[in-house]
A and B are shown apart, each in its own frame.
Chain A
Amino acid sequence: MNGTLYARRRMTARIFLAFSTAAAVIGLIWLGLILFTLISKGLGGLSPTLFTESTKPPGSAGGVLNAIVGSLIMSSMAVFVGTPIGIMAGTYLAEYGGQSRLTATIRFFNDILLSTPSILIGLFIYEIIVLTMGHFSALAGAAALTVIVIPVVVRTTDNMLLLVPHALREAGIALGAPISTIIRSVTWRAARAGIVTGVLLAVARISGETAPLLFTAFGNQFWSTNIVAPMASLPQVIYNYANSAYEDWHQLAWASALLITVAVLTLSIVARLLEPKRH
């Protein structure tokens, strides 16, 4: 009797371990499959014209230069506006906020905003900017991306500042330095690597965002750097081209997908390398 019970327990454990290992293997297979498809389908579409030509009608050799530039313009606007706001807000939470109710409330709303579906951010910007201006614009697209950047930066700045040892702040206070000086020249400096990580993660996140741009920046077939006019972006070109019926547009979509993935994965790996070890 004992023998069979033991055998059954060992059997359960073996099945469980086999399942866990299989789960990890399947996870890795998904990653491998996606990367393999991107490389095999995307490499064929990589050509000089991809970077030198704007999007063209199907049939003529075109590129995605306007979309690359559009993505760069809107993402950098979002990062330039969103980063300082996010760092200041994170600083308030970690340095001034303490244990107060207000701090807990702001953290709560920030965490919700961090995971709010990005398409709803798009609707929000559509309501307050696109309807006010009367037309789609790169400005609205950048605003939508900014709203996505801010909570990411707030969250990492807050976390990273909380990791800075208190003794550093106390040393500053003992020298008679005002709190704001301590923050700027001691705690920010100590947490710099972590804060940079947060910004990089935010950049990685927005460079693949499509949903919030659909009805804010709207997309543009032509070369445009006018920020009050509709603007093309790389993810949106993928969306439009993949849904089209033309083989050469599919090819461009795959090549663009490869570009974005390489950019995003490089950013996340760099961010991970910079990230300070916990404890």
Chain B
Amino acid sequence: MAGLALENDEIAKRAAMMQRFGRGEARFRILCLASALLVVAIFLGVVFALVEGAWPAIKAFGLPFLWTEKWNPVTEKFGGLAAIYGTLVTSLVAMLIAVPMGIGIAVFLTEICPNALKRPISIAIELLAGIPSIIYGIWGLFILAPFLQTTVQPWLIETFADVPVFSTLFEGPPYGIGMFTASLILSIMILPFISSVTRDVFETVPPMLKEAAYGLGCTTWEVVWNVVLPYTRSGVVGGAMLALGRALGETMAVTFVIGNAHRISASLLAPGTTISASIANEFAEALGDLYVPALIELGLILFLITFLVLAAAQLMLRRLEKSGGQR
């Protein structure tokens, strides 16, 4: 009888302990879930804050905001076209430079580089990604822009003076600062993103496939072009889109070297502006009822563009992950 009572006691204690565990268990789980939901809440908060802040400008200017070039803080007439154009063009030119170079670096690291140098070189290239954008800005302003102004830009103007299309792209006085310099800085900044993602996906190619191609007598170029790139296409495109997302929203480096002029010029050497550079340059000094909302509306447009690009990048990379798992 005494033994049984003791057992009952034990059971009761045990039950109490389990209950305590259970409560802590639920609390911990809810805390984790709440933190995870906070991420979504922040995202929705960003969307909501941007829409709310931009609302007066959206109401005042409507859709024509998207295709009006005029940006006049004095008369409070605002149009976002020049900034949108500058954002898209600088990012596009940066991609034209950085994508082939990034893929080239990945090929170098996976196919050419001696094993002993692989790690140091890839770490060095990735350090480029770690350098804060303000550093690229100050370097671009004091070193790269004067260098381009005195050497590269006069050469571009002279060389392409008689070539159609290019003569328009490289026209006018060499200012140093401008869209071209901004694109070049952007291309340096996104290069490590493209090369590291590309190298990672290149390494997922089964060696057997490559060896089979080499065995057929393919050259390195033919192996990369016909085997490696088709196998890794969605990964390479996904990596490039991630880099594009970064280039579109890059602020400090561009602000230093773009010249901050709200106008559209056919020449890449002319000063221009981007969405992020306009916000960084003008926001703190913006006065009036519509100036700040117009800048926030630009921000909202930038958010929508980067969202689309990044979402597409996610889908591409996910697809690669899935198919990689099945193979």
Which residues of A approach B to under 8 Å, CB–CB? 9-10, 12-13, 16-17, 19-24, 26-28, 30-31, 33-34, 37-38, 41, 84-86, 88-89, 91-93, 95-97, 105-106, 108-113, 115-121, 123-124, 126-128, 147, 150-151, 154, 178-181, 183-184, 204, 207-211, 214-215, 218, 235, 238-239, 242-243, 250, 253-254, 257, 260-261, 264-265, 268-269, 272
Contact = CB atoms under 8 A, between A and B. Distances in A.
25 contacts: A13-B219, A16-B107, A20-B107, A20-B112, A27-B105, A27-B124, A28-B125, A85-B35, A88-B32, A88-B35, A89-B36, A108-B311, A109-B40, A111-B314, A112-B310, A113-B46, A116-B303, A180-B25, A184-B28, A211-B276, A239-B134, A242-B142, A257-B135, A260-B132, A269-B127
Contact of A209 (B38, B113, B132, B307): B132
Given A17-B221, A84-B35, 18 more contacts: A13-B222, A16-B220, A20-B107, A34-B128, A37-B139, A41-B142, A86-B35, A88-B35, A89-B32, A89-B38, A106-B37, A147-B42, A150-B42, A178-B22, A180-B29, A211-B133, A214-B284, A260-B132
Contacts of A24: 104-105, 108-109, 113, 121, 125
B143 to A, nearest CB: 5
Nearest to B248: A117
Contact of B49 (A23, A37, A91, A127): A127
B287 interface: no
Nearest to B284: A215
Interface in B8-65: 21-22, 24-25, 28-29, 31-40, 42-43, 45-46, 49-50, 52-53
A9 B219 contact: yes
Contacts of A179: 25, 29
A109, A127, A179: most-surrounded residue (chain B CB, <10 A): A127
Interface of B: 21-22, 24-25, 28-29, 31-40, 42-43, 45-46, 49-50, 52-53, 100-102, 104-105, 107-109, 111-113, 121, 123-125, 127-128, 130-139, 141-143, 188, 191-192, 195, 219-222, 224, 242, 245-246, 248-252, 256, 276, 279-280, 283-284, 296, 299, 302-303, 306-307, 310-311, 314
B124 A28 contact: yes
Contacts of B52: 127
Contacts of A264: 130-132
A116 B308 CA distance: 11
A261 B283 contact: no
Contacts of B29: 92, 96, 179-180
A105 B36 CA distance: 10
Nearest to B192: A27
A95 B121 CA distance: 36
A119 B37 contact: no
Contacts of A154: 36, 39
B246 A208 contact: no
B39 A89 contact: yes
Contact of B245 (A34, A88, A115): A115
B248 A242 contact: no
B137 A242 contact: yes
B221 A254 contact: no
- Give me the 9 closest cross-chain CB pairs, A-B, nearest first: A208-B132, A117-B249, A23-B104, A13-B219, A88-B35, A92-B32, A180-B28, A127-B49, A89-B35
Contact of A96 (B33, B108, B133, B303): B33
Contact of B36 (A106, A117, A238): A106
B43 A260 contact: no
Contact of B132 (A96, A97, A105, A207): A207
A117 B310 CA distance: 11
Contact of A210 (B49, B107, B252): B252
A244 to B, nearest CB: 12
B316 to A, nearest CB: 12
B133 A265 contact: no
Contact of B138 (A119, A121, A253): A253
